[in-house]
Amino acid sequence: MNVIELSNVSKTFTLHNQGAAVIPVMSDVTLSVVPGECVGLLGASGAGKSTLMRMIWGNYLAASGRITVAGTDVARAEPREILALRRERMAYVSQFLRVVPRVPTIEVVAEPILLTGTPEDQARDRAAALLARLRIPERLWQLSPTTFSGGEQQRVNIARGFIRQVPVMLLDEPTASLDAANRETVLSLIEEAKARGTAIVGIFHDEAARDRVCDRMIDMARFAA
Amino acid sequence: MNPLFSVRGLEKRYGARIGCTGIGFDLWPGEVMGIVGESGSGKSTLLSCLAGHLPPDRGEVIYDGRDVLAMSEPERRMLARTDWAFVHQNPRDGLRMAVSAGGNVGERLMAVGARHYGDIRDTATDWLGRVEIASDRIDDRPSAFSGGMQQRLQIARNLVTGPRLVFMDEPTGGLDVSVQARLLDLLRGLVRRMGLSAIIVTHDLAVVRLLADRLMVMKGGECVETGLTDQVLDDPQHAYTQLLVSSVLQV
Amino acid sequence: MTAMDAYNFAYLDEDTKRMIRRALLKAVAIPGYQVPFASREMPMPYGWGTGGVQVTAACLTPDDRLKVIDQGADDTTNAVSIRRFFQRTAGVEVTEETEDATIIQTRHRVPEAPLQEGQIMVFQVPIPEPLRFLEPRETETRRMHALADYGLMQVKLYEDIARHGRIATAYAYPVKVEGRYVMDPSPIPKFDNPKLDDSPALMLFGAGREQRIYALPPYTRVESLDFDDHPFVASKADHACDICGATESYLDEVITDDQGGRIFVCSDTAFCRSRQEDRQ
């Protein structure tokens, strides 16, 4: 039973204002992921790893093909259907934390489960537990993450990504800029998610991390356009 | 579940000039739609037609199953006072400057029959708190408020009757950047918490990125691209959208 | 040729009276609604009761008995002038007794003696539009009346309470007629407002300068606007009349010397005098 299924997906960028430059990125992508499986994307920079992930997230439009995620065809769905998918069934840990000024870290982390109706105190407790596990000092929890270091922001991002238990997770370089101890924590989090039946697509430049959590690797060169 | 607000084939012309044309969309409960475009794109004309301020030349506007364009003026006014709200760019257009803050917030309640002074005042105080205006300013006139405070007061005045659909015209236009940030944060919280549907017209892409679920890009009176907000901003397909997005200076 | 032959009965020509009567009929048909009418040039300036005079002129018949009061008194300049005007142009009988009058023209007061069926009260009105000082645009106030959009009026009362702790309007206190139109009862003290409610008399309101007529047919529901927790109170000075001893009539405060001396006397002179006569 595939939780993620892509068939005949292609992507081309057309830059109308730069001489109508056409940049084909990938074509005829077919791949599927079952619950509890972690698939790693491999390829040189520019091969389309992040692009593919963003297409699964619904952030980039597929030029053709079908992308079915936890029951929703992302390539064809209405905005509100994609938002519902993201809210209820899919998490995305990107490389960058986009923050709203003024919102304290603990609320940034708790927000995804607050939105789905978890009572405030419960949500905060879970956020606190994750932040503690990722070694973010408690004195930082009431501050907005805008002034944090890259590594700290990354860990806040991860906490926010892992606070819900969802069937699909997309992880873009989750262990980048982390020290050994925190890297270990993140890998444990991934293993716990897999054990719960989460289907994961990830990009890992770190070979050791790849070897540890990925069940399969897919080389983007296969889909080069 | 049906869409809350449906528009089909909306057109408004000024003589031979096109204000807006061929506009159609469905808005669902709890959905926030941004309409972006530069000056002259037709976005303000469109908003005026949608909110019932300007009669369109062609097209259909259905709210909650009711044909808005076929409504009598009393019906439309009642709608504007209860289920709908309109936040003007300039708060002076949306407030009574000679009436106290409490009176401004309480007016919509009184207009639909509230007759208990104590309750009205309590509700007004509550709402001032929600928009982060100190409750001891309830008897001050808006002319004594800063621009940001006036805008927050306008928002309170509009939301006090629990509308389901809010129209906003450049809600952060003319405000200082730090004030904008605070206001956007407030709007975001209120919209989410109250489950509001909203249509926000703006030329500021940061506003839509933060507030809107979906986006409509206007140029020359037409919608050139529409879709999920982050998709339209991160993977723009139309030439004009690409130009718009790439023109935004990164700080 | 007598002075009376030089004028048509009650000064106005018959066509003008007919025009005013048509406006009055419309006004009576829609209680509290301001009917525009073509106000005429009268032999007194605007601001001196031309609206009231035109309405009285249109209603008068030779058998009527006319009373004219100004702030409750029959003997002040304006009351005397207008009464003499009608004596001269209509030759009607005049009286100072409220109970004996068939038509009573008044500036800014309702008599203390209860009115009866068959009597007509004619009020002189300066500004007929109750919303005027809140919304200066005529186009807007007309729309507000048409749509029964009176939130602004209630806001004004709210502002009063916020600023003064109570509704500060003491005269020209706005009322709601038959649950529909908000009306300015003319600058009568709010003490007189209850007298408008369910009255056996016909009440007509004329604004000459503003060119509006409105009416309250007999037995019309008239409610003063208020809040549930700040109800309307028909208040007056907390004194008895220093001349006749009445405790229930509206009082004028009269300064008697420059030491702060003052007395309170009934504003309704006829009422006060009849009470004095009764005591003797």
In chain B, residues with a C-beta closer than 8 Å to the C-beta of C149 are 77, 111
Q: Is the pLDDT of residue A97 over 80?
A: no
Judge residue C136's burial from the number of C-beta atoms within 10 Å of its C-beta, 0-12 exposed, 13-18 middle, 19 or more buried. Answer: exposed
Contact C159 B103 (CB under 8 A): yes
Q: Where are the domains of chain C?
A: 2-128+175-222, 236-280
Domain total for chain B? 2
Q: Are both B73 and B188 inside the same structural domain?
A: yes
B124-152 as b/e, with b when 16 or more CB fall inside 10 Å? bbebbebbebeeebbebbbeebeebbbbb
Q: Does the residue B226 lie in any domain?
A: yes
β-partners of residue C216 are C203
Q: Smallest CA–CA separation between B230 and chain A, in Å?
A: 6
Tell me, yes or no, whether B192 and B224 share the same domain. Answer: yes
Domain closes at, from B162, B182, B198? B162
Does residue B49 form part of some domain?
no
Please enumerate in sequence order all residues whose Cβ is within 8 A of that of C275, keeping only pairs 6 or more positions apart, or say none.
C241, C244, C245, C246, C266
Global confidence as pTM:
0.84
A125 to chain B nearest CA, in Å?
Answer: 21
Whether residues B169 and B149 fall in one domain: no
Provide the 8-state DSSP code for B34: E
- How far is B65 from chain A, CA to nearest CA, in Å? 20
Do the chains contact at B238 and A16, CB–CB below 8 Å? yes
Domain presence at residue B91:
no
Structure tokens given for B77: 């006014």
Are A143 and A106 a contacting pair, CB within 8 Å? no
Summarised one tens digit per residue, pLDDT across range A185-207 is 999 999 999 999 999 999 998 89
What local confidence, expressed as pLDDT, does residue C1 receive? Answer: 47
Q: Assess whether B150 and B204 both reside in one domain.
A: no
| Contact check, Cβ <8 Å, B228/A83 | yes
Per-residue pLDDT of chain B (251 residues; tens, 9 = 90+): 889 999 999 999 998 899 999 999 999 998 999 999 988 888 999 999 999 999 999 999 999 999 999 999 888 888 988 899 999 999 999 999 989 999 999 999 998 889 999 999 999 999 999 999 999 999 999 999 999 999 999 999 999 999 999 999 998 887 887 788 888 888 888 888 888 999 999 988 988 988 899 999 999 999 999 999 999 999 999 999 999 998 876 65
> Cα torsion for A43, A46, A51, A52, to the nearest 10°?
-20
Chain A contact present for B176, CB below 8 A: no
pLDDT above 80 for A100: no
Q: Cβ of B96 under 8 Å from any chain A Cβ?
A: no
Question: Domain check: are B155 and B174 in the same one?
Answer: no
Instruction: Classify residue B202 as exposed, middle or buried by CB count within 10 Å of its CB (0-12, 13-18, 19+).
Output: buried
User: Which site among A11, A100, A107, A172 would you substitute to test the B interface, given the most B Cβ atoms closer than 10 Å to its Cβ?
Assistant: A100
3-state percent helix, strand, coil for chain A, nearest multiple of 5: 40, 25, 35
Which CATH fold topology does C2-128+175-222 show?
Answer: Rossmann fold (3.40.50)
Evaluated on CA atoms A150, A153, A155, A157, the torsion sign reads negative
- The 3-state secondary structure of C157-194 reads HHHHHHHHCCCCCCECCCEEECCCEEECCCCCEHHHHH
The edge-to-edge listing of strands for the beta sheet with A38-42 is A90-93, A168-172, A199-203, A38-42, A216-219
Intervals of chain C under pLDDT 70: 1-5
User: In Å, how far are A106, C40, C177, C180 from C224, measured between CA atoms?
Assistant: 55, 32, 9, 12
Separation of alpha carbons A22 and C205, rounded Å: 80
**First CA to last CA across chain C, in angstroms?**
46
pLDDT at residue A140 in the model: 93
- B189 occurs within a structural domain: yes
Chain A residue numbers with beta carbons less than 8 Å from the beta carbon of B231 are 58-61
SS percent in chain C: helix, strand, coil, step 5: 30, 20, 50
Contact A160, A100 (CB under 8 A): no
Chain B and chain A touch, per 3+ beta carbon pairs within 8 A: yes
Residue of chain B with shortest Cα separation from A20: B239
A177 Cα distance to chain centroid: 16
Contacts of C278 (CB under 8 A, 6+ apart): none
Percent of chain A with pLDDT over 70: 99
Residue B217's domain spans which residues?
A: 1-44+62-83+163-250
Contacts with B122 (C-beta within 8 Å, 6 or more apart), sequence order: none
Residue B228 and residue A58: Cβ atoms within 8 Å? yes
Residues 6+ apart with CB under 8 A from C59: C24, C103, C120, C122, C204
Given B162, B189, B212, the domain boundary residue is: B162
pLDDT given for residue B181 in this prediction: 80
Query: Least CA distance to B141: which residue of chain C?
Result: C159
Does residue A128 come out as left (phi exceeding 0), alpha (psi in the -120 to 50 range) or beta? alpha
DSSP A105-156: HHHHHHHHHHHTT--HHHHHHHHHHHHHHTT--GGGTTS-GGGS-HHHHHHH
Q: Are C230 and B116 in contact (CB under 8 A)?
A: no
Residues in chain A: 225
Is residue B21 located within the same domain as residue B8?
yes
Q: Is residue B54 part of a domain?
A: no
- Mark whether C272 is an active-site residue: yes
**Residue B146 at interface with chain A, using a CB cutoff of 8 Å:** no
Q: B213 with B113, same domain? A: no
Hey, are the CB atoms on B117 and C228 less than 8 Å from each other? Answer: yes
Q: B145, B162, B179: which is the final residue of a domain?
A: B162
Are residue B120 and residue B221 in the same domain, yes or no? no
Compare CB distances from C229 to B73, B107, B117 and report the shortest one's residue: B117
Query: Does B141 contact chain A (CB < 8 Å)?
Result: no
Q: Which two tokens mark A223?
A: 């889909």
Task: Please answer yes or no on whether B111 and C163 come within 8 Å at the CB atom.
Answer: no
Residues B244 and B154 in one domain: no
Residues B11 and B71 in one domain: yes
C154 and B139 within 8 Å at the Cβ level: the answer is no
In a domain, B112, yes or no: yes
Per residue in C184-203, is it b (16+ CB within 10 Å) or e — as a string?
bbbbbbbbbbebbeebebbb
Backbone angles phi, psi at B88, to 5 degrees: -80, 155
Residue in this structure with the two tokens 């056996």, named with its chain if needed: C200
C-beta neighbour count of A102 within 10 angstroms? 14
- A window 152-181, beta carbon within 8 A of B: none
CATH number of the domain within which B27 lies:
3.40.50.300
Q: Which residues of chain C does B118 touch, with a Cβ-Cβ cutoff of 8 Å?
A: 229
| Chain C partners within 8 Å of B116 (Cβ) | 227-229
Split at pLDDT 50, 70, 90, the class of A224 is: confident
Q: Find, in chain C, the residue whose alpha carbon is nearest to that of B109.
A: C151
- Of B141, B184, B166, B21, nearest in space to B79 by CA: B166
When CB atoms are compared, the residue of B103, B112, B139 closest to C155 is B103
**Chain A closest-CA separation from residue B237 CA (Å):** 7
Among all residues of chain C, which has the CA nearest to that of B111? C151
pLDDT band at A54 (very low <50, low <70, confident <90, very high): very high
Residues in chain C: 280
**Contact present, A190 and A221 (Cβ < 8 Å):** no
Residues B146 and B239 in one domain: no
* Chains interfacing with C (3 or more CB pairs < 8 Å): B
Distance of CA B94 to the CA centre of its chain: 12
Does residue B171 share a domain with residue B109? no
